[in-house]
Amino acid sequence: MNKDKRHEIFSRLHEANPNPTTELAYSSNFELLISVILSAQATDVGVNKATAKLYPIANTPEAIYALGVEGLSDYIKTIGLYNSKAKNVIATCKALIEQHDSNVPETREELEALPGVGRKTANVVLNTAFGQAAMAVDTHIFRVSNRTKLAPGKTVLAVEKSLMKFVPQEFLVDAHHWLILHGRYTCIARKPRCGSCIISDLCEYKDKQIDD
């Protein structure tokens, strides 16, 4: 895919949604961090339902840490892998309190040092909380990047690096959210909605669905 086509793709995505953001519900950087940890192999909708009950009760590192693993598990047991996630969240809260004055750190190295925080989670926080150019490649972004030939790659890291290289600079901060939303609602896995896709004519997917 050439440079002009990539620019036009993101121009259209920007025009359709000038201020994209995560669908996770949060009101602080700490809430965002915890929600992203909980969202691994879970839906944003499911996470939001759980945190709607949790955050009014506990939404600081100290408050959640005070719940303990069992107490936290009661709030998040509807989320997949909740036992291991509860342990990671409690350990992360402890680390934030002891090492970061209860603040969410702003560097990749510090974020990835937190329990339960991998590269993708760190990228979401860096991008969404701190406005840094970062690409959290989930299943949606991986699919869209490869299917459209926007930034093909065989691994998540390869796609991430390609996107960071090829997405026009002016769109780089918001590209992560546009691509997730496009993959979630239009370029879906089993039957992409090509007939209602605003970038269909620019996409290089060979098996387009034209009967939407």
Separation CA 115–CA 129 (nearest Å): 19
147-187 pLDDT, tens per residue? 999 999 999 999 999 999 999 999 999 999 999 999 999 99
pLDDT of 123 > 80? The answer is yes
pLDDT value at position 210? 63
Task: Verify whether residue 212 is a known catalytic residue.
Answer: no
SS3 of 33-81: HHHHHHCCCCCHHHHHHHHHHHCCCCCCHHHHHHHHHHHHHHHHCCCCC
Separation CA 184–CA 142 (nearest Å): 12
34-89 pLDDT, tens per residue? 999 999 889 999 999 999 999 999 999 999 999 999 999 999 999 988 999 999 99
Determine which one of 138, 154, 165, 207 is catalytic. Answer: 138
Task: Verify whether residue 120 is a known catalytic residue.
Answer: yes
Structural domains in the chain, CATH included, are: 3-19+134-196 (1.10.1670.10), 29-128 (1.10.340.30)
Determine which one of 5, 49, 53, 120 is catalytic. Answer: 120
